[in-house]
Amino acid sequence: MSSSMAERGTAPLVEVCNLEKRFPVQRGLFGRGVGQVHAVDGVSFRIAASETLGLVGESGCGKSTAGRTLLRLLEPSGGEIHFRGEEITALNAQAMLPYRQRMQMIHQDPYASLNPRMTAGEIVGEPLTIHGVGLRAERRERVAQLFDRVGLRPEQMHAYPHEFSGGQRQRIGIARALALNPALIVCDEPVSALDVSIQAQIINLLTDLQEEYGLSYLFVAHDLAVVEHISHRVAVMYLGRIVELTDRSTLFEAPLHPYTEALLSAVPVPRVSARRRKRVILAGDVPSPVNRPTGCHFHTRCLYAHARCRAEAPALREVSEGHLVACHLHDAGPKLPLAKPA
């Protein structure tokens, strides 16, 4: 699959500029504010039509929050969101309705994301009802078509979520996301709760749907093997910031950020390949997003950190065509000497 936006020959479908999302931390009987959780801290990226951008990182790095803020399910604390060239950052609920039809979401947990009191057909048809699309018979026909397209039998429309397996429930979630013919789907770890064999089926289904309908995906995940299979480009997040962004093959073959190297070194590989891979063990835990390190957020765990890393946050900059990294090791100026790993 082609990886660069230029090769796809289109303007970005979605563009996010310096997106921020902060949550207040409150304590005491009267909810006194004592700080803020910087869940998303100045994130910028683009997604072209028919492209999948993988968003990866450890748990708690802010990737799911970034996806929800992009869809305005969470209100952004700063930055801009553009959809097909139109800024939607501050639109009210009424003005957002047309855009909500074009941007949908597939949730992580197929057991929790479906209303147990509704039949599967009602769940898939609910977006059509809310947005007043078609007559009742037309909506019923549309739902039956969606069931068939995602690999479910139309007669299962009358069953309830508890009557389905986990993989089937995720297919219901996919059908619901497709109901309004969206252009963008945010996939929030859509296979992490499924068995490995079912994961492959769902990933193949998402790939086929993308080719058939020209869908764009923001694919949020922590499993790099899944991201490598489905993504055209990959953005790596650490503590609310994107630290590296490039095409899939470049990221997996020639990562530049020390954090990306550490993530990739932890991916299980065949024994022959493992002999050629350097194992990177990160020291310590991910710092709290309430009390973030100064400078580069990663410097507390980085093998190559220097004084500049502790004092100055590196900008996400392009170091080669289509390859962006936020690391002083790859600045245009004088290179920092590499520290020797302990």
Residue carrying structure tokens 């993530």: 263
For the entire predicted model, the pTM comes to 0.89
Domains annotated on the chain, with CATH: 5-330 (3.40.50.300)
Count Cβ atoms below 10 Å from residue 240 Cβ, excluding itself.
25
Which amino acid is it at 284? G
Residue carrying structure tokens 């929790």: 112
**What pLDDT score does 334 carry?**
44
Is the per-residue pLDDT at 78 higher than 90? yes
**What pLDDT score does 278 carry?**
67
pLDDT tens column, 163-187: 999 999 999 999 999 999 999 999 9
Is the per-residue pLDDT at 336 higher than 50? no
